[in-house]
Structures are given as C-alpha cells and as structure tokens.
C-alpha cells in the first residue's frame, strides 16, 4: 500500500489530491513541519520533520515523502509525476510527447512560479501580510510572477487544460503551486483564463475531498 508522509497543511496536499484523483488506497502518516513546534526535538513532541523516525525516511527533513513498496520518493511534484505514470489513465501522458509536456510544465511550475508563490503564502502564515515588510514581499513576488502568468494565460487561450483536452497531472501540479498566491485576487483578476482554469481544477471532487480533510487539521499546534 502507498504510504504518504506529511500533514495535509503542507506540500503533501498535492500528493493527497493526486491519490484521491487516482482512487488509490493509501496510509497517511502525519508529519508536522518542525518550524511549527517550539521544540521539535523535546521528548513527547509529535512526529515532525526533525524526528529521527522521519529522517530515516527522508534525510533532508522535508515533507512529503512516499513509500510505495520498496520505493521511497521525495519532492511532491516528482511524486505526482510518478504516480500518474505508474497508474496510467487520463492524468498521465498518453504519448511520449504528452509525457514530455507534463514534465516540462511541472518543472516550469517548480522553477518559475513556486519560488514566488511560496513567499506569498509564508508571509500570510507568519502573520506579516499587513506589515510594511510583508506588503513589500507580496508586491515583489507578484511583480516577478507577471511574466510567468502572462505565458500561462496565453497558453490557456482557447484551451480548457494545460496538456491535451483533459485534466492531467500538469494541471494538478500547477494549480497547487498557484494556490499559494490565491490570496492576491488582483493577480487572478488580471488573468481571466487562469482564473477560470483554476476554478475548474478546484471544483473537482478529489480536490474537494482533500480540502475537506485539510480543513479539519489544526492551524496552530
């Protein structure tokens, strides 16, 4: 059985969404981010990214990780590409060309988009969005996202989905990367194709199922 390490309020959400889309049976092992705990190494602390038990799974101390039989993998976007390819179906590439495009768009999301969207979400997570420093961080991230979002906006002209004529792992991966910036309504209002597309992605039952569980997790530890 597939084992997913990580809480839903983390990048593990992407993998949980993917598992729901594929209808996979899985075991969830909640691993908290160490930064959320006052003393993650104290006796009795909940399992977290610095716990020896988890470091034996992922020495980098980051979530999510998975164990699938004898295979252990890290990096959420790569995990999703693997799960799509292993399980086949419409979320995976149907040709070698589609497979290449799914990888290309996922790497694009990781390299061109997520570095900025993470700055936005962490500003909110740290309660700094209304401070002068926080506002500048968010504004700078939004400025740096403009070129990438303009490219995606153009790509979605006349298209419902990123690759082919169906929802794929590329849509899921990019939607989860962009979710970190959805607090910035003006950013999405300026890109109506992206706004309509992410609404299609987030209306899927598997996404709603993932978010229902995520919503029950405590924000504060």
* CATH number of the domain where residue 170 is located: 1.20.1050.10
Pair (102, 186) in one structural domain: yes
Bridge partners of 74, per DSSP, are 65
Does any domain span residue 42?
yes
Pair (84, 101) in one structural domain: no
Pair (70, 30) in one structural domain: yes
CATH of the domain at 85: 3.40.30.10
Task: Answer yes or no: is pLDDT of 84 > 80.
Answer: yes
Q: Give the mean pLDDT of the chain.
A: 97
Contact 83, 22 (CB under 8 A): yes
Task: Answer yes or no: is pLDDT of 199 > 80.
Answer: yes
Task: Answer yes or no: is pLDDT of 214 > 90.
Answer: yes
What is the mean pLDDT of the segment spanning 67-95? 98
Using one digit for the tens of pLDDT, what is the confidence trace for 118-177? Answer: 999 999 999 999 999 999 999 999 999 999 999 999 999 999 999 999 999 999 999 999
Structural domain harbouring 16: 2-90
Task: Answer yes or no: is pLDDT of 20 > 90.
Answer: yes
Which pLDDT score is estimated for 162?
98
Which pLDDT score is estimated for 219?
85
Task: Report the b/e string of 132-164 with b at 16+ CB within 10 A.
Answer: eebeebbeebbeebeebbeebbeebeeeeebbb
Pair (114, 142) in one structural domain: yes
Task: Answer yes or no: is pLDDT of 221 > 80.
Answer: no
Pair (85, 151) in one structural domain: no
Pair (81, 103) in one structural domain: no
Beta strands (DSSP E) in 110-219 are none
Pair (80, 49) in one structural domain: yes
Number of domains forming the structure of the chain: 2
Which pLDDT score is estimated for 156?
98
pTM of this prediction exceeds 0.85: yes
């Amino acid at each position: 059985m597939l084992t997913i390490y990580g809480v839903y309020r983390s990048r593990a959400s992407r993998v949980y969404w993917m598992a729901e889309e594929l209808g996979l049976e899985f075991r969830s092992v909640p691993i908290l981010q160490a930064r959320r705990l006052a003393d993650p190494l104290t006796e009795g602390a909940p399992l977290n990214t610095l716990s020896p038990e988890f470091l034996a799974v992922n020495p980098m101390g980051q979530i999510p990780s998975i164990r699938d039989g004898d295979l252990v993998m890290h990096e959420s976007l790569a995990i999703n590409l693997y799960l799509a390819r292993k399980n086949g179906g419409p979320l995976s590439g149907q040709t070698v060309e589609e497979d290449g495009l799914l990888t290309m768009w996922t790497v694009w999301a990781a390299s061109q988009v997520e570095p900025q969207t993470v700055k936005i979400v962490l500003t909110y997570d740290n309660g700094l969005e209304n401070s002068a420093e926080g506002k500048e961080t968010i504004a700078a991230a939004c400025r740096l996202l403009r070129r990438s979002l303009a490219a995606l906006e153009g790509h979605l002209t006349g298209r419902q989905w990123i690759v082919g004529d169906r929802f794929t792992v590329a849509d899921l991966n990019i939607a989860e990367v962009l979710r970190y910036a959805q607090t910035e309504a003006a950013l999405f209002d300026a890109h109506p194709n992206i706004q309509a597309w992410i609404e299609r992605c987030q209306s899927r039952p598997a996404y709603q199922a993932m978010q229902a569980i995520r919503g029950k997790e405590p924000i504060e530890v």
